[in-house]
Chain A
Amino acid sequence: MKGWRPPAPFLLLLPAILVLAAVVIIPLILSLYSSFTPFRLTQPASLFTLIGFRNYVRILTDIEFWTAFGRTVLLLTVALNVEMLLGLGLAMLVEKATRGQRLLRTIMMFPMMFSPILVGFQFKFMFNDNIGLVNNALQSLGLTDQAIPWLIDGSLAFFAILVAEVWSSTSVFAILILAGLLAMPKEPIEAARVDGCTPWQTFRYVTWPFIMPFAYIAMTIRSLDVARAYDIVKIMTDGGPAKRTELLWTLISRTAYADARMGLANAMAYVAILLSILFTVYFFRKLSAARTQIAAEW
């Protein structure tokens, strides 16, 4: 009579799986269900009426939803690319520094400590049309004599949000790419130089492939957390003015809590979740592809 002993890794992973099931999976199943109902917080009974795909049909034909969706994807694409480029530049600047590298690295981590809500507030303060640092500086330098309505005009507000987002997350890229640059063996670079490569060629064919996986780690970490932009937008413009900076996430929270239409909001939330998962899976794939490539070459 020997009892079945579960394998060790199963036991070790059990707590993690239990917690995630209780707090993430089960609520998500519930919200999947409620996305098929006309559930409103104010009418609890509406949770038990099934309406099929009507919520989904509704959001898929809703121009407001698609605008928010498009804006979210645009923001993410632009932000991730800009962060990647700036992070690469910053990492290379710091790597070249001969003295004070430790201090520079510490300063570089500075934005990482800011909670997104603080980043939002800080840039709301700086971009304030009346008392903000940006307008004050522009006016004092005589570049403009009117107050630029940074957070009031739709596309300027989008730009301001983009700046806040890029400021807060570039350091993730910079730090990881810098780690890649420092971990890189020096011989291939020297060999390339001896063989007569130009600096650009050295960078393109030697350095770049090596730091790729590090860049993808940064991308993956960022994509796990893209919805952080909600906090920034929430405090900077709250989707305003007149919904011109509405992102998917602010739209969800408005539909769910201000309009109390939970069922509809849950349907939207599922689209947002799919978007996040898509981003993450894409970068995970890239990450493992880059890893195998590195392993094969070095």
Chain B
Amino acid sequence: MNDNAKARFNGFLLSIAHKIGLFLAMTIICLPGLWIVLASFRPTVEIMAKPPVWIPQELSFDAYVAMFSGVGQGGIPIIEYFRNSLIISVTSTAIALAIGMAGGYAFARFRFKAKSSIFLGLMLTRTVPGIALSLPLFFVYSKLGIIDTHFGLITAYVALNVPFTIWLIDGFFRQVPKDLAEAAQIDGCTRWQAFWQVEFPLAGPGIASAGIFAFLTSWNEFALASQLTRSVNSKTLPVGLLDYTSEFTIDWRGMCALAVIMIIPALVLTFIVQKHLVSGLTSGAVKG
């Protein structure tokens, strides 16, 4: 009886500790983001206040209004940046997906010589640090005259995304049983038809999440974009964030507002993919 009560008490303590641990972990994860969102609504005086003002006294959309009111009135060319980011990310994602689907299919369905070394080789091109790649790209692009153009960044991002897209899509095609496509071929489909009618729809959600992952990579990329863009023609949002910093002062509130604008599309998209993303990455982990 006594032992029983003791065990129950211990279990109770453990579950309390578990809840507290979870709560703390989640707070640490969420706090920085929420703090940014909050700061974007507060007046600068309150952000700068000493001693700190913990409970916001007044909230307003001033930072957002200022941001959209254009250059000269404390704003930055946010609309142009947003447009550039969107065009570059969407186009490069679409191209990377097409290339990645072909490559991923090859890895998932065919046996060929030196398969694993080719795979590793593709992955290794991804490991080249953005800043290291930016040096020769900067030189080549300026010779070709495609610095500060959408085309230049799109090409770079396609190359950046292809290896990882292949990895993900390879994983998703492996999850589709080979027999299904073979059955379709026996029923008279060509391999091409079997792909589009059977394998593609089944791997569809996975491919979509690979696409969203590629989109996020392009959307968030900074090291290459900061060197290959010059003006509103092609500057993307991450590069635009630096517009708010000058030599000695930083417009904290403005930066917070821009950060919120940047994070919203990423937030929405990540929620959509979260389930498939993990299954694609881990599909090969156990079965080999």
CB within 8 Å of B: which residues of A? 7-10, 12-13, 15-16, 19-20, 22-28, 30-31, 34, 89-90, 93-94, 96-97, 104-118, 121-123, 125-126, 130-131, 133, 136, 139-140, 167, 171, 175-176, 179-180, 183, 213-214, 217, 221, 223-227, 230-231, 234-235, 249, 252-253, 256-257, 262, 265-266, 269-270, 272-273, 276-277, 279-281, 284, 291-292, 294-295, 298
Closest residue of chain B to A212 (Cβ to Cβ) is B285
User: Shortest distance in angstroms between B54's beta carbon and chain A's nearest beta carbon?
Assistant: 7
User: What are 20 A-B interface contacts by the 8 Å CB criterion?
Assistant: A7-B110, A19-B158, A20-B122, A23-B137, A27-B133, A28-B133, A117-B241, A118-B220, A122-B35, A136-B51, A234-B223, A234-B226, A253-B131, A266-B135, A269-B129, A273-B127, A273-B132, A279-B127, A281-B120, A284-B123
List the B side residues contacting A113 at CB < 8 Å. 216, 263, 266-267, 269-270
Contact B136 A230, beta carbon cutoff 8 Å: no
Contact of B32 among A34, A167, A272, A281 (CB under 8 A): A167
B22 interfacial by beta-carbon distance below 8 Å: yes
On whether the beta carbons of A176 and B278 are closer than 8 Å, the reply is: yes
Give the Cβ gap from B260 to chain A, nearest Cβ, in Å: 10
| Neighbouring A residues of B128 by C-beta, 8 Å | 24, 28, 273, 276
User: Are B158 and A109 touching (Cβ within 8 A)?
Assistant: no
Answer whether residue B200 sits at the interface, using C-beta atoms and an 8 A cutoff.
no
How many angstroms from the CA of A93 to the CA of B102 in the assembled complex? 39
The one of A104, A121, A175, A265 that contacts B135, using a Cβ cutoff of 8 Å: A265
Cross-chain contact A126 with B32 (CB below 8 angstroms): yes
Min distance, Cβ B113 to any Cβ of chain A, angstroms: 9
Residue from A108, A122, A140 in contact with B36 in the complex, judged by beta carbons closer than 8 Å: A122
| Cβ-defined partner of B29 (8 Å) among A117, A121, A171, A276 | A171
Chain B residues within 8 Å of chain A by Cβ, number:
91
Known A-B contacts A15-B99, A28-B128, A176-B278; A97 and B22 likewise in contact (beta carbons under 8 Å): yes
CA–CA, A193 and B238, complex, Å: 51
CB contact under 8 A between A131 and B47, given known A19-B158, A224-B127, A269-B135: yes
Decide if B162 touches A126 in the complex (CB within 8 Å).
Answer: no
Query: Contact at A280–B127, with CB atoms within 8 Å?
Result: yes
Minimum Cβ distance to chain B for residue A184 (Å): 9
Query: Is B26 an interface residue when CB atoms closer than 8 A count as contact?
Result: yes
- Give bound CA distance, A35 to B109, whole Å: 41
Structural contact, B129 and A273, CB atoms closer than 8 A: yes
B6 at interface (Cβ–Cβ under 8 A)?
Answer: no
CB pair B288–A291 under 8 Å, yes or no, is yes
Q: Which of B26, B126, B159 contacts A19 (CB 8 A)?
A: B159
Query: Which of the 9-residue segments B55-63, B69-77, B182-190, B251-259 touches chain A?
Result: B251-259
Q: How far is the CB of A48 from chain B (nearest CB, A)?
A: 14
In the complex the two chains form, is B255's CB within 8 Å of A121's CB?
yes
Pick the residue among B22, B159, B259, B287 that contacts A24 (CB under 8 A): B159
B175 at interface by CB-CB < 8 Å: no
A224 and B126: CB pair below 8 A?
yes
Question: Is A126 a contact of B47 with CB atoms below 8 Å?
Answer: no
Contact B123 A183 (CB under 8 A): no
- Are B129 and A272 in contact (CB-based, < 8 A)? yes
Please determine whether B262 and A118 come into contact, CB atoms closer than 8 angstroms: yes
Given contacts A7-B110, A27-B136, A213-B285, 6 further A-B contacts (CB under 8 A): A16-B163, A112-B270, A122-B33, A179-B281, A230-B130, A253-B134
Contact of B227 with A by CB under 8 A = yes
Bound Cα distance from A104 to B285, whole angstroms: 24
| Shortest CB distance A284–B (Å) | 6
CB distance from A295 to the nearest CB of B (A): 5
Instruction: List residues of chain B with CB within 8 A of the CB of A171.
Output: 29
* Minimum distance in angstroms from A21 CB to a CB of chain B: 9
Q: Is the CB of B21 within 8 A of A227?
A: no
Interface flag for B88 (CB, 8 Å)? no
* Distance A121 CA – B100 CA, assembled complex (angstroms): 32
By Cβ-Cβ distance, the 9 closest A-B pairs, closest first, are: A115-B220, A227-B129, A23-B159, A27-B136, A269-B132, A31-B136, A12-B106, A136-B52, A9-B110
Distance in Å: Cβ of B68 to nearest Cβ of chain A: 19
B1 lies within 8 A of chain A by Cβ = no
Query: Which of A28, A113, A249, A262 is most buried by chain B, counting CB atoms within 10 A of its CB?
Result: A113
Tell me whether A231 and B223 are in contact (CB under 8 A): yes
- Known contacts A136-B52, A183-B282; A125 and B36 CB within 8 A of each other: yes
| Residues on B with beta carbons closer than 8 Å to the beta carbon of A107 | 26, 29-30
Complex contacts, A295 vs chain B, CB 8 Å? 286-288
With both beta carbons as reference points, the residue of chain A lying nearest to B34 in the complex is identified as: A110
Which B residue sits closest to A220, measured CB to CB?
Answer: B123
* Residue B118 interfacial (CB < 8 Å): yes
Residue of A nearest to B267 (CB): A113
The answer on a CB contact under 8 Å between A217 and B162 is no
Query: Given the complex, which residues of B lie within 8 Å of A136, measured CB to CB?
Result: 51-52, 54
Across-interface contacts of A253 in B (CB, < 8 A): 131, 134, 223, 227
The answer on a CB contact under 8 Å between A105 and B112 is no
**A118–B35 CA distance with the chains assembled, in angstroms:** 13
**What's the least CB distance linking B206 to chain A, in Å?**
14
Q: Is B41 part of the contact surface with A, judged by Cβ < 8 Å?
A: no
The residues of B that contact A225 with a CB separation of less than 8 Å are: 126
CB of A109 within 8 A of CB of B274, answer yes
Known: A93-B22, A114-B263. A13 touches B106 (CB 8 A): yes
